[in-house]
Structure 1
Amino acid sequence: MSIRNIFVVGLDEPNRQRLEHIRGAENYRFHGVIEPAEVNETEIFPIEDMLSRAETQLKGFGEPIDAVVGYMDFPVSTMLPLLCKRLGTRTTSLESLLKCEHKYWSRRVQHEVIADYIPRFTAFDPFDAQALQHIGEAGLYFPFFVKPIKSSGSRLGFRIESPEDFAHAVARLCEDIGTISEPFNYVLEHANLPDDVRLVDGGHCMAEEIIGGWQCTVEGYVFEGDVVPYGIVDSIRYPQVLSFLSYRYPSLLPAHIQEKMRELTRTIMAHIGYDNAAFNIEYYWDEVQDRIWLLEINTRVAQSHCDMFEKVDGVSHQQITVDLALGKLPDMPYRQGAFKVAAKYFYRVFFTDATVSQVPSAEEIETLQQAFPGTTITLQVEVGTRLSSLPEQDSYSFALAYVWMGADDDVALEENYARLAEQLHFAFEDIVG
C-alpha cells in the first residue's frame, strides 16, 4: 500500500505519538499544519489568516494530500470544512457542522425532532439593554444559564440566579465575546444560513432553562449516512459547582438510559445531515425525574477522551477521525486495552486569582507516574503563571494539572487518584495591587 499523507491542524507531539499507534499507521505520514500554540494556547483566533496560510502550505506540499483532520474544538473544528473544501478532501458540510456548533441553530434543529429532550431556550444580544426583559418574554425565568452562541469549553458560561448575576455575566460577555464572535462570523459568511439564523450572529448569546443530572458524552461518527454511537463517557463534577472533577470510561449509566441516548443520537445526527465525520453529544440524565436532556453537540472526537479509549479499547478514538477522512469504515477495537476502566482527572483550585510560586518537579511527576502504572500527568501551569491568564478555563476554578489513569475497577481508580493528588504540591502568591 502506498503511504498516505495526513495533515493534522494544530498537531502537537503527544497527539503525534498517539496517532502513530492507531491501526494502519505504518502506512500513514502525519504532518502538522498551523502551529498548536495558534489554536490551543491562545484566545486570539485570526481565522482568515490561518486558513490562508494553511491553504498555501498544503497546496505547496508537492505530493498527494489524502486527508486533513483535527482533534480540537474552536477554531479547528469550525475551520475544517472550509479548508477541506479548498483542498478537495473529505469531511462533513459546513452547514451540517454549523447546525451543531451554532448553538441557536442547533437548538432550532433539535426542536424539530427531539423537542422533549431539550430545555427551553432563546437567543439574546448581550449589548441590548432590554436583554433580560426579552429573555423573560421568551418564557425563561431565574435561574437560567447563559453562554455565547459559539461557546468554547465552559468559557463565558454563567448560571444566572438574579438580575445582579445577569448584569455581571453580561459585562463579562460584552468584554470578551469578540474573541469568539469575530472569527466565528467569518465562518458564518461562508455558509448558506436561514434568514432568522443569520440575524443571530457570533456576537449573540443563548439563555437556556437549567438542566442537570448525571452528565455524560456519547462519542459517535457518521459514515456514508450511517450514524454509529460507539462509546459513552461519564463527566463527574465537583460537588455544588460546575467545574469538572473527572471524565470516566466506560459509563456507569443504566443500560436502558445508554440505549435511549444512542437512539436520540442517531435521530438528531441523521436529521442534521452530518456525514463522514466524528462527533460527540453531551447529555444529562436527571435520575429524579428519569428524564434525558441533550446539552450540546460537538463536531469532533473529544481529545480529552483519547487516552481513555486507548487504555480501555486498545487505541485512541482518533482512529475514527483518520479512517473517516480517508473514506474508510472506522476500524475501532473494543475492550482490547490494558485496563477495565480509565479516567481523566482535573486537579483544580477554586481561587479568584493568584500567581503560581511552586509546581511539582519533573522528577516528582516521573516518580508518581511510575508509582501508578499507566498514569500520565501534564501540568497546565509553571512558576510565575497568573491563573487568570490561563486560556479555556471555566468561570469558577483553574485547572493546574490533568491526570490520566487506568485501573481494574472504579474503586481502585478513585483510591489511586486520591493518593496521587495528595502528592501533587503547588504553592501560590496573592496578586498585589
Structure 2
Amino acid sequence: MRSPQMKNIFVVGLDDFHLAQLEAVEGADNYRFHSLISYREIKCGSDFPVRELLEHTAQTLTAFDGTVDAVIGYWDFPVSTVLPIIRRQVGLGGPSLVAVLKCEHKYWSRLIQEEVVPELIPPFQKINPFAAEAPTQCSLDYPFWIKPVKSVLSHLGFLVRNREEFEQSLEKIRSHIGRYAEPFNLILNHAELPAEIERVDGYYCIAEGLISRGRQCTLEGYVCKGRVQVYGVIDSLREGRHCSSFSRYQYPSSLPPEVQQRMIEATAKVLLRTGYDQAPFNIEFYWDEEQDSIHLLEINTRISKSHCSLFKMVDGEYHHQVMIDLALGREPSFPHRQGEFALAAKFMLRRHRDGRVVRVPDRAQIEELKQTFPGSELLLNVCPGIRLSELLDQDSYSYELADLFIGAAGPRQLEQRYQAALSLLPFEIEERGGTA
C-alpha cells in the first residue's frame, strides 16, 4: 500500500540515464515516475511524432488509474513545446503555450527582446528560405548566422560570409528543414498567434548579426509566481572552425559577479514580458570582456539536462529537483555548494570529420573510469558500425561521440583528470584512408 503522499509524475522522453538521476533526488521515495513516451520514440526517429504523441498522452493520462500530479520533461524540441498542451489536456498548471512560444520561436523571441533589452541583441531579420528573392532581400551585412526559427543544437545553423555561402546554406536548409518545420507547425496550430507570427511558421529562418565574441555562459533558473530566480551560471566553451561547436560546460562560472548580475537583471526583464511562469528555464549570453558588453543569445523553456550532473557534483543535487517542485506547484529550495567538488564539467567528445565508428569504450573501461574518478559519468552517443553523418540533429560542423562528466577541486585538476580520462576511453573511427 503506497503512502497517500506518493506523487505520480509522468515524464515525456524518459531515458534510463536521467531516470537514475530522477530517482536519486531528495524526496524521490514519494515519487513514482511513469514514462509517457520514451526518449527513443520521441527523439530518435526520422521525424518527430507530435500528433501521435498528443493523442497518446491524452488517452494514457485519462485512462490512468490514479492521480496525475505532474507532467515533466527535460529535452528540447519537441518535448519542451508540447508540455503546455499536455498539461492543459489534464488540467495541470504551468506556463501557457503562448508564453513558451514567445521564448522558443526564435523570431518571436527576438521581437520580445527588442522591446525590453534592445541593446543586448543583434540586428535580425526573418528569412523565407524557399523565396527565390531571399538572398537579395536580406538587409544584414556579411557575415551573419542563419538558422531555422525552431531547431536544436545549432542544427541547420550556418555562418554566412558571402552571397555564395548564403545560397549554399539556403539549399541545405530547404532540403532538411521539414524535420522540424512540420511538427513545429502542428504545435503552433494549438496557439492563438499574432498575425505577424502566424505568417512566420516553422519553414522560416532567422538571420542574425554576429554576437559570439567573448565568453559564453548559461543561466539556469525558474519563474515562480512572477518572481525570476537564477540558481546557477555555467560557462560554455566552444571549438571548431567557426567556434560553433560546444567543447565543454563548466560550473560554476568564472565570470565576474557584476557581469552575472547584469545578465540576471536582463533575464528577468525578458521573461516577465513573455508571461512565462511556474516553470524552469535556461538562457544563454555572451560577455565581450574587451567592450564589457553582454548579448543575449537564446532562451530555452526547460532545465538543461547537460547541467544536471554538474549541479549534483558542485551543489549536491540534480536540478531535476527544481523542475519537479515547480510541476507539483511548490517553490523550489535548491542547495548551494553542498556537493563533493568545487568544479565540474561536461566535456563533449567531438570529431570534425565524417567516418565510420569501429570501436567505443566497453562496459569494463567505463567502469574503470568511474572507479578512477568517483562521481564521473560517460554517456555514449555512438555505437560500432554507425557512420557519423548518419547521426541525427548534429550541429553543422561536427559530430558528438560522447559526453564525459567529471568533477575536480579546481581548474588545474579538472584538466588533468580530463586528459587522464581520455586515455581510458578508446574510440576508433575509420576513414577512407584508414583508421584514426
- Equivalence map 1:48-197=2 (5 Å): 48-136=51-139, 140-197=140-197
What's the secondary structure of 1:34's corresponding residue?
strand
- Following TM superposition, by how much is the alpha carbon of 1:169 offset from its aligned partner in structure 2, in angstroms? 0.9
- Following TM superposition, by how much is the alpha carbon of 1:41 offset from its aligned partner in structure 2, in angstroms? 2.3
TM-score (norm 2): 0.96
Correspondence for 1:226 = 227
Change (3 A) 1:300 1:154: same
- Following TM superposition, by how much is the alpha carbon of 1:422 offset from its aligned partner in structure 2, in angstroms? 3.3
Correspondence for 1:267 = 269
- Following TM superposition, by how much is the alpha carbon of 1:424 offset from its aligned partner in structure 2, in angstroms? 2.4
Q: What value does the CA root-mean-square deviation take over the aligned residues? A: 1.3
Correspondence for 1:341 = 343
Q: Distance in 2 between matches of 1:430 and 1:245?
A: 22
Q: Distance in 1 between matches of 2:321 and 2:204?
A: 35
Q: Distance in 2 between matches of 1:189 and 1:224?
A: 27
- Equivalence map 1:279-318=2 (5 Å): 279-318=281-320
Q: Distance in 2 between matches of 1:23 and 1:420?
A: 30
What's the secondary structure of 2:14's corresponding residue?
coil
Correspondence for 1:399 = 400
> Unpaired runs of 5+ in structure 1?
none
- Amino acid corresponding to residue 151 of structure 1 in structure 2: S
Contact 2:281–2:302, Cα closer than 8 Å, also in 1? yes
- Amino acid corresponding to residue 399 of structure 2 in structure 1: F
Contact 2:144–2:161, Cα closer than 8 Å, also in 1? yes
Change (3 A) 1:43 1:311: farther
- Amino acid corresponding to residue 53 of structure 2 in structure 1: M
Q: Distance in 1 between matches of 2:65 and 2:316?
A: 35
1:217 aligns with 2:218: yes
Q: Distance in 2 between matches of 1:152 and 1:124?
A: 18
- Following TM superposition, by how much is the alpha carbon of 1:89 offset from its aligned partner in structure 2, in angstroms? 1.1
> Unpaired runs of 5+ in structure 2?
none
How many correspondences in the alignment? 428
Contact 2:135–2:167, Cα closer than 8 Å, also in 1? no
Correspondence for 2:18 = 15
Change (3 A) 1:304 1:429: same
TM-score (norm 1): 0.97
Runs of 4 or more consecutive aligned structure 1 residues displaced over 3 Å after TM superposition: none
Correspondence for 1:36 = 39
- Amino acid corresponding to residue 288 of structure 1 in structure 2: E
Contact 2:42–2:49, Cα closer than 8 Å, also in 1? no
Q: Distance in 2 between matches of 1:189 and 1:36?
A: 24
1:2 corresponds, among 1, 5, 12, to: 5
Q: Distance in 2 between matches of 1:48 and 1:41?
A: 16
Q: Distance in 2 between matches of 1:399 and 1:101?
A: 23
What's the secondary structure of 1:180's corresponding residue?
helix
Contact 2:50–2:78, Cα closer than 8 Å, also in 1? yes
Q: Distance in 2 between matches of 1:43 and 1:206?
A: 24
Q: Distance in 1 between matches of 2:47 and 2:395?
A: 17
- Following TM superposition, by how much is the alpha carbon of 1:163 offset from its aligned partner in structure 2, in angstroms? 1.3
Contact 1:229–1:265, Cα closer than 8 Å, also in 2? no
Contact 2:250–2:343, Cα closer than 8 Å, also in 1? yes
Q: Distance in 1 between matches of 2:93 and 2:310?
A: 27
What's the secondary structure of 1:221's corresponding residue?
strand
Q: Distance in 1 between matches of 2:319 and 2:230?
A: 12
Contact 1:216–1:233, Cα closer than 8 Å, also in 2? yes
Contact 1:355–1:431, Cα closer than 8 Å, also in 2? no
Identity %: 46
